[in-house]
């Protein structure tokens, strides 16, 4: 009888002969991925869904090493458009009832400019041509202002203006408000937000229009009366999404704050949420993973996350943050607009010596199937698309081996161990996977890119 390894070799040879290039309908998804990766490098920090490569480091004994954003910024054809939108925001008329008081605004701007000259506020070592209050109003019990600190001579890869939010009690005078700096950001971005407990402020360039739509359908969009900015307080915050349209083009679409992460709600449903796990611990041991994902994903999903798989992963290709080897839990929830959003949460075997992190969380999306179904194949890239990386594959029932391939032929094969496999793949490969039975039969087939879906969230200031 032919042994399993011989059958696998035969299947690989047949695949190399039969595979043909497949049409790729996922240009939009990959473009979204590149935009989100660019924001990580540029420091845009805009609220949006990252498809496959957004990682959040869990830091041990302090914060991760700060990276010089200008040093790592990659050349990008979208950068001039982002800069232009940021400049438009810096030049926009002032908004908010308090901003209409010219004397008050002049006093705030004057004090901030003087504080910068004395070196008491940033950006350090940068000459400013102007300080502009872009928004000032009483929001609930607070007086809130957004201020642009306009650079006199920005470098080609530098933001035209830095930014700071000022937050003080409602009715605060100009001098006190100017002293209530909530830190200084290196970037006044095209879309600026302040999310605080009980209120939210979002601001876009003049001429843009905000609209809102109720969660979870996110279909019936209604224009906001404030136009190019949006304010929510405890009395008006609700489950919803927001959209910013500029010149007829959607530039930003993102969920509002909040989500389905109430502890009592999760505890009441934990047994059911953990029941979908193909492999893993008792229900109580899933609580942290489900809660952490639900807290981060917010109203991007329509229901509480469910368990998919838990176990140890080894043999991963090291990325910028080192090896991904460690203990992993995989969870997912149905996404607004269709498909599913999931997350692989990894606790590393060893603390990363570069970032000082003890783990990471990697988002992924799928469409066309329910990843909590034990008969489906879930594939998640671990690492940067532009580097050699690994793919974690949660195997369907009955699979003994997983084969990674692309249109030219097979790339790698690995046995299924405890319901999963890890396979190395080269950089920039549009990779598909096949799950094979012990007899070498095709159990499941995932074409290249089929684990991706275009995100409903949008952040397209660079287009």
Average pLDDT of each block of 10 consecutive residues along the chain (463 residues)?
Answer: 47 41 31 35 25 34 30 62 97 98 98 96 92 98 98 92 98 98 96 95 98 97 98 96 97 95 86 95 94 95 97 87 89 95 95 86 90 94 83 96 90 96 86 94 78 77 93
User: Would you state the pLDDT for residue 12?
Assistant: 47
Phi, psi for residue 314 in degrees, rounded to 5: -140, 165
Q: Tokens 């690994």: give the residue.
A: 390
Give the integer Cα–Cα distance in Å for 433 and 410. 9
User: Would you state the pLDDT for residue 363?
Assistant: 92
Q: CA 385: distance to chain centroid? A: 16
Contact 323, 299 (CB under 8 A): no
Phi, psi for residue 322 in degrees, rounded to 5: 90, -165
User: Would you state the pLDDT for residue 42?
Assistant: 28
User: Would you state the pLDDT for residue 43?
Assistant: 27
User: Would you state the pLDDT for residue 454?
Assistant: 65
Q: Which residues touch 142 (CB under 8 Å, ≥6 apart)?
A: 167, 168, 169, 170, 196, 199
Closest of 30, 168, 120, 35 to residue 458, by C-alpha: 35
User: Would you state the pLDDT for residue 82?
Assistant: 96
């Amino acid at each position: 009888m032919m042994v399993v390894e011989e059958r696998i070799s035969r299947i690989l040879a047949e695949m190399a002969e039969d595979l043909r290039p497949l049409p790729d309908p996922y240009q939009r998804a990959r473009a979204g991925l590149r935009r989100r990766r660019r924001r990580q490098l540029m420091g845009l920090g805009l609220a949006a869904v990252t498809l496959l490569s957004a990682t959040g480091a869990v830091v041990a004994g302090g914060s991760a090493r700060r990276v010089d954003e200008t040093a790592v910024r990659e050349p990008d054809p979208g950068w001039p458009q982002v800069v232009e939108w940021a400049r438009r925001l810096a030049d926009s008329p002032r908004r908010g009832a308090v901003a209409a008081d010219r004397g008050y605004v002049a006093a705030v701007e004057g004090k901030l400019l003087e504080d910068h000259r004395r070196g008491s506020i940033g950006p350090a070592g940068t000459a400013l041509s102007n300080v502009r209050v872009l928004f000032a109003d009483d929001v609930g019990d607070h007086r809130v202002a957004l201020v642009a600190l306009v650079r006199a001579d920005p470098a080609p890869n530098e933001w035209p203006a830095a930014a700071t939010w000022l937050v003080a009690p409602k009715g605060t005078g100009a001098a006190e408000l100017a002293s209530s700096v909530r830190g200084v950001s290196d970037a006044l971005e095209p879309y600026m937000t302040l999310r605080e407990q009980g209120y939210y402020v979002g601001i876009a360039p003049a001429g843009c229009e905000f609209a809102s739509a109720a969660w979870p359908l996110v279909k019936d969009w209604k224009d906001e009366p404030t136009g190019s900015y949006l304010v929510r307080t405890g009395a008006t915050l609700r489950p919803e999404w927001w959209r910013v349209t500029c010149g007829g083009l959607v530039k930003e679409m993102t969920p509002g704050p909040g989500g389905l992460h109430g502890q009592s709600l999760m505890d009441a449903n934990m047994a059911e949420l953990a029941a979908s796990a193909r492999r893993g611990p008792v229900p109580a041991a899933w609580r942290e993973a489900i809660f952490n994902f639900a807290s981060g994903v917010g109203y991007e999903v329509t229901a509480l996350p469910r368990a998919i798989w838990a176990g140890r992963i080894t043999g991963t290709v090291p990325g910028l943050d080192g090896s991904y080897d460690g203990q992993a839990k995989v969870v997912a929830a149905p996404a607004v607009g269709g498909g599913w959003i999931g997350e692989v949460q990894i606790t590393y075997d060893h603390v990363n010596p570069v970032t000082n992190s003890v783990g990471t969380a990697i988002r992924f999306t799928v469409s066309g199937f329910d990843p909590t179904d034990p008969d489906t194949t879930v594939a998640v890239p671990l690492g940067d698309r532009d580097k050699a990386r690994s793919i974690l594959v949660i195997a369907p029932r009955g699979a003994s081996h997983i084969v990674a391939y692309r249109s030219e032929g097979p790339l790698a094969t690995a046995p299924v161990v405890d319901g999963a496999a890890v396979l190395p793949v080269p950089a920039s490969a549009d990779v598909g996977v096949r799950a094979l039975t012990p007899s070498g039969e095709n159990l499941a087939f995932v074409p290249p890119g089929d684990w991706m879906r275009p995100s409903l969230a949008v952040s397209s200031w660079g287009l």
